[in-house]
Structure 1
């Protein structure tokens, strides 16, 4: 193929609406875990197989299995013919787009061009505009569901996709479920990682109303009601879901989460074991089981004479499940903190340290994930290793990352308490007062920071760091 026509092919490819043009980054997911999720979805929710096979073909491509990708696109085509015999062109646009890209990557340019032409011709027939530009609600929705699968960096974009889809079809239950799911995920994100909390209760209620058979959304509604201290109301939805879909692992996972948060740990574990029997490779289910075993350990620790053998056994089980979750999904960063934490509870400090070092050295952590690890490590240093100086260091590392989040808030409280106790007990020196000044400065409390630095300089008059910080703060207040 000549260079010119190859360039024009690339230009055409970039205009297609499909997984290759939706900016989905490999670094944000664990491909093995994502593949497992999609295969489970196909097994338990066959009605969404078209978009699942489309996404699976993209995952195959990311894993360098283009032949496998083509096989899954053929399965998507078969499903389209079976489900939408009267709308084949309309329903095939994403599939054909993926075909074009995969053939392009295989350097089979003629075939790539064939699929580009199929999309362009279909769009011209389907579109009322001169350029054949087309924005179909089901394509927005397919993009939205795909974005949700790629994790929390994509939730905001997913929400926008579903909003666009709903503009054309406000009563579409699938679009409504996607929108409610995106809103629920964004709210959970905002509560833990900071950001604006947007009420998703109405969106979830609307989705359940439009499709009472969708127990996944029903479970999210129950969890949202629980979050709003309306757990009794939520539990009714969980019970209804258990009757409607007793063998649906995605629902079971949410139901177990609900019961664990209600402190009904045995019930949660029973449900999780059932779900794991159905989908044994699920990283999320292993993680949740680990959390249940940890709850049991913490419960036993509160008793006067905790039975050592039972404690050991429960700690081992928690370790096994957290490790499995990380093996199956290496980007499951909260599981690293949980694993290190359970090692610490079992007084296996070297192993805990090893896990913290392993995750602290990774360069693919998002800012708020890093904050979570810094806070967790600071807590480990303070309460398990009894090293206040290291705890202070890592709490401050967390504060230096300015994203507003729950771990940042906790770090701020912990480090202020540590420093103030030291200073007020008369054991504090210029370094402690200066460090408290830095904490105030990082939290935007300029006046308190100035007072601390002045006090620190009175004790250590030639300290460059304090003098510079003070000058900078005074300047920022006067300017």
Structure 2
């Protein structure tokens, strides 16, 4: 193929609606983990197999397995022929777009052109507005599910896709499920990292009404009701869902989370073990088991004379599960921090410190991940390594990133509690007063910040940092 026609083919490819044009970047996910997730979903969610095979083909391409990618697209075509024989063109646009791109990357340009033409011809028949883009709700929804698979930075776009799908079919169960899931995920990010809260409860209730057999949706609704302290109402959904799908690992993981947060850790562990039998390589399940065993340790340590053998056994179990996740998912920062925290819980401080230092020196962390890391390291210094000064330092670093997020508020509460305790015990010095001034300043409480900086200067009159901070604060209030 000549350079000119090759370039013109690329221009047509860029007009297609498929995974290759949806800006799904491989650096944002763990490809092996995503592939494993999709393979499991193909096994447990037969009705979504068209979407899953299309996504799996793209993941295989990203892993340089184009032949495997083509095999998955063939399976996607078989699903359409079996379940949608009267809508083959309408249901195949994404599949054919992926075919065209994969053949292009394989330098099989004539076959790529064949699929470009199939998409163009189908779009002409399906829509009078465009040769290339027909605003089909199924395509918007498929894009939405793909975006949800690639992580938090894609959730807002996913929500928009499902909104577009719902404009044409507001009562479509699948589109409502996607929209509610996107809102739930966005709300989870907002709670952890700050940002606007999303009204997911109503969306989830509507989605459950339209999808009465979708137990994953029921579990998400239960967790959301639990957030709003409607635990009994939430548990009714969990119990109903357990009756419907007792062997669905994707539901069981959420049910376990519900019971762990309710304080029924042993019940959560039992559910997670069952889910792990069904999907033994699931990093998510190993992480949740680690969290449960760590919670068990903390609960035991809060009792009088806890049996040391039990404590040590539970610590080893937590380490075992967290280590599986950390080895498997190098980008999963929380799992690595959790592993470090359990090492510290077991007084294995060198191993804990080594992991925290490696994480702190990573230069590809998001601001949310950094803030969670500072909180986790601060907690570790405070409760396990018994270094209040280092805990204060890392809480403040976390607070500097984002004061209004859930994690930022936790950093703020922790550092103020530590500093005020120290001052009440008569152990506070100028550094502690200055730190409180900084914390109040970061939180926007300027009058309080001025008070603490004045106290710091009374103890350390030549400190330029406190003098400059006080001067700027007074200036900002008077101007």
TM-score range, shorter chain: over 0.9
In structure 1, how many angstroms separate the alpha carbons of the residues matched to 2:301 and 2:97?
Answer: 57
Structure 2, unaligned stretches of length 5 or more?
A: none
Greater mean deviation of Cα atoms: 311-320 or 193-202:
193-202
Aligned partners of 1:54 and 1:94 also within 8 Å: yes
In structure 1, how many angstroms separate the alpha carbons of the residues matched to 2:67 and 2:160?
Answer: 33
Q: How does 1:295-444 map to 2 (within 5 A)?
A: 295-402=295-402, 404-423=404-423, 425-444=425-444
For the structure 1 residues 65 and 455, does the alpha-carbon distance in structure 2 shift closer, same or farther, using more than 3 Å as the test?
same
User: Could you tell me the TM-score, scaled by structure 1's length?
Assistant: 0.95
Q: Which residue of 1 aligns with 2:217?
A: 217
Q: Which residue of 1 aligns with 2:113?
A: 113
How many residue pairs end up in the alignment? 479
Aligned partners of 2:378 and 2:392 also within 8 Å: yes
Q: Which residue of 1 aligns with 2:173?
A: 173
Aligned partners of 1:219 and 1:254 also within 8 Å: yes
In structure 2, how many angstroms separate the alpha carbons of the residues matched to 1:470 and 1:94?
Answer: 60
User: Could you tell me the TM-score, scaled by structure 2's length?
Assistant: 0.95
Q: Which residue of 1 aligns with 2:17?
A: 17
Q: How does 1:149-228 map to 2 (within 5 A)?
A: 149-228=149-228
In structure 1, how many angstroms separate the alpha carbons of the residues matched to 2:403 and 2:448?
Answer: 21
Greater mean deviation of Cα atoms: 393-402 or 382-391:
382-391
In structure 1, how many angstroms separate the alpha carbons of the residues matched to 2:406 and 2:56?
Answer: 35
Q: Which residue of 1 aligns with 2:277?
A: 277
Shift of 1:425: 4.8
Shift of 1:474: 4.0
SS of alignment partner, residue 92 of structure 1: helix
SS of alignment partner, residue 39 of structure 2: helix
Shift of 1:434: 2.7
In structure 1, how many angstroms separate the alpha carbons of the residues matched to 2:23 and 2:398?
Answer: 29
- State the Cα RMSD in Å: 1.9
SS of alignment partner, residue 303 of structure 2: coil
In structure 2, how many angstroms separate the alpha carbons of the residues matched to 1:451 and 1:69?
Answer: 64
Shift of 1:43: 0.6
In structure 2, how many angstroms separate the alpha carbons of the residues matched to 1:414 and 1:300?
Answer: 23
Q: Which residue of 1 aligns with 2:290?
A: 290
Aligned partners of 1:137 and 1:169 also within 8 Å: yes
For the structure 1 residues 245 and 420, does the alpha-carbon distance in structure 2 shift closer, same or farther, using more than 3 Å as the test?
closer
For the structure 1 residues 57 and 416, does the alpha-carbon distance in structure 2 shift closer, same or farther, using more than 3 Å as the test?
same
SS of alignment partner, residue 140 of structure 2: helix
SS of alignment partner, residue 196 of structure 2: coil
In structure 1, how many angstroms separate the alpha carbons of the residues matched to 2:421 and 2:310?
Answer: 37
Shift of 1:52: 0.3
In structure 2, how many angstroms separate the alpha carbons of the residues matched to 1:229 and 1:94?
Answer: 42
Aligned partners of 1:27 and 1:364 also within 8 Å: no
SS of alignment partner, residue 47 of structure 2: helix
In structure 2, how many angstroms separate the alpha carbons of the residues matched to 1:180 and 1:351?
Answer: 41
Q: How does 1:206-285 map to 2 (within 5 A)?
A: 206-285=206-285
SS of alignment partner, residue 162 of structure 2: helix
Shift of 1:455: 4.2
SS of alignment partner, residue 365 of structure 1: coil
For the structure 1 residues 307 and 422, does the alpha-carbon distance in structure 2 shift closer, same or farther, using more than 3 Å as the test?
closer
Aligned partners of 1:183 and 1:198 also within 8 Å: yes
Aligned partners of 2:16 and 2:132 also within 8 Å: no
Shift of 1:46: 1.2
In structure 2, how many angstroms separate the alpha carbons of the residues matched to 1:102 and 1:274?
Answer: 39
In structure 2, how many angstroms separate the alpha carbons of the residues matched to 1:452 and 1:266?
Answer: 46
Aligned partners of 1:293 and 1:315 also within 8 Å: yes
For the structure 1 residues 428 and 302, does the alpha-carbon distance in structure 2 shift closer, same or farther, using more than 3 Å as the test?
closer
Greater mean deviation of Cα atoms: 78-87 or 356-365:
356-365
Does residue 145 (structure 1) correspond to residue 145 (structure 2)? The answer is yes
Greater mean deviation of Cα atoms: 272-281 or 100-109:
100-109
For the structure 1 residues 419 and 311, does the alpha-carbon distance in structure 2 shift closer, same or farther, using more than 3 Å as the test?
closer
Shift of 1:257: 1.4
SS of alignment partner, residue 437 of structure 1: helix
In structure 2, how many angstroms separate the alpha carbons of the residues matched to 1:433 and 1:4?
Answer: 70
In structure 1, how many angstroms separate the alpha carbons of the residues matched to 2:3 and 2:144?
Answer: 35
Higher relative contact order (Cα pairs below 8 Å, separated by 6+ residues): 1
Shift of 1:272: 1.2
In structure 1, how many angstroms separate the alpha carbons of the residues matched to 2:158 and 2:130?
Answer: 28
